[in-house]
Amino acid sequence: MKMTIGEIASAINAKTDGISEKSLKEETSGVCFDSRKLKEGQLFIPLAGEHDGHDFIESAIKNGAKATLWASDKVDRLPLAIPALVVDDPLAAFQQLSRYYLTKINPRVIAVTGSNGKTTTKDMIAAILASTFHVTKTYDNFNNEIGVPYTILQMEPNTEFLVVEMGMDRPGQLDFLSKLVQPDVAIVTMIGEAHIEFFGTRGKIADAKMEITHGLKEDGLFIYDGDEPLLVERAKNLTMAKTTFGRKSTNDIYATETHDSQYVTSFKVNLWPEMDFKIPLMGDYNVNNALAAIAVGQVFRIHPSLIEKRLTQFDLTKNRTEWLVGKNGEKILSDVYNSNPTAAKEVLAAFQETPTDGRRIVVLGDMLELGDQSKQMHASLAASIDPSQISQVYLVGEDMRALYDRLKPVFAPENLHHYAANELDQLSTDLAGQLKAGDEVMLKASHGLHLENVVAKLVAAGTD
């Protein structure tokens, strides 16, 4: 994002009292809301969170901030070293600026949400479109009211497609994000139990996911899992064009002849039955994500051979079914960005099918935001853990104790372990002392458990 300070001020209706005409003509090179990561020439966005961003203005100035937004109720602390654009609410102004910039660049917008698979689907879509167009996609997990505007403002002026991931943990969130980006294509990958604590039922989760269509352009397209009755029922009310994907032949796009291996999943598609598609991921469940991406490629007339090629080599966001090598030579399946019962069961099923010369070891952390049914849902994972395939189980967190109790009758005490959420250092030490070349270890948990820290210690001396 390159805009003059004056253009930014005009876009967000900011007060510019005391700012010289010369300063208003100076150009910013981007935006940043973390003063520690700010780069020379950027606009600082002081947001309120655990800490007030206004308290870090000196750090931002030291790191080269060109200008800053500034809350009107804090003008008694107005910085003098750089231009300060005064607004009522810096977050709202940040969002307004992103909308202005999106309109200015005017790319096609692809919006993706879902209980599982939205990040993988986003990565696949971006790879397919990048075969032909200039594409910007959501970085990492920047998928909320802060992350989506930030993604927009990272676009280069030549961006033709913006592929934006949208997360959700409460009603109304996707309504806001969808209306902010006004997508040309909106996608729901699937409906699971994620955040059921706040919604109560899968039906209400589906209602909230459908909010992604609230900003969908009238001539836009809704792509969704046609095997999910909750989505099929709700999609009937949409006047926009629709495309379904799934496994049943009643879908517009469906997979046939799927084959899952440790590092690659292959399948065929009804549209081009002679072609073999491969994705560099284990797990049959990832085929649906690929089908949604293929649907986008088809809409924008990407040649099937390019779709096939890009799916084979797309870049996957870190910590999502990512194979690594540990310091003892063990293979590590890191899937620690997030977790819910559906996702955990799918990964467990795929992991237990992987070939190995050693042992398979599972590390599972709490799945958060499951509400009153949380302990029951944790315990339900027991049916997906086969003692003849899994040698040891390590469980982390208070709710995982329910699974621990359920597994006691089928695992010897020395092969079943439980740790509190604050005992990750001990878990890392115990695992490092246990693992050896030929073993495979799978780690999965909600991000709030921070099992990525365990993964980092296991691979500290390894390679990926």
Tokens of residue 138, six digits: 């959501």
Residue 124 φ/ψ region, left for φ over 0, alpha for ψ in the -120 to 50 degree band, beta for the rest: alpha
> Which single residue is written with the structure tokens 């997030």?
338
Helix axes 173-181, 90-105, angle to 10 degrees: 40
Distance (Å, whole) CA 99 – CA 214: 16
Q: Which residues of 128-168 form beta strands (DSSP E)?
A: 135-137, 161-165
3-state class (DSSP) for residue 42: coil
Nearest Cα residue to 444 out of 379, 402, 400, 407: 400
DSSP 119: H
Residues belonging to the binding site for ATP are 114-120
Nearest partner of 101 among 23, 8, 27, judged by Cα: 8
Q: How far apart are CA 386 and CA 177, in angstroms?
A: 41
Q: Give the C-alpha separation, 281 to 283, whole Å.
A: 6
* Residue 216 vs residues 15, 23, 52, 219, 378: alpha-carbon distances, Å: 33, 38, 34, 8, 36
Which residues contribute to the annotated binding site?
114-120
Concatenating the DSSP letter of every residue in 7-48 gives HHHHHHT-B-TT--HHHHTPEE--EES-TTT--TTPEE---B
Distance of CA 427 to the CA centre of its chain: 26
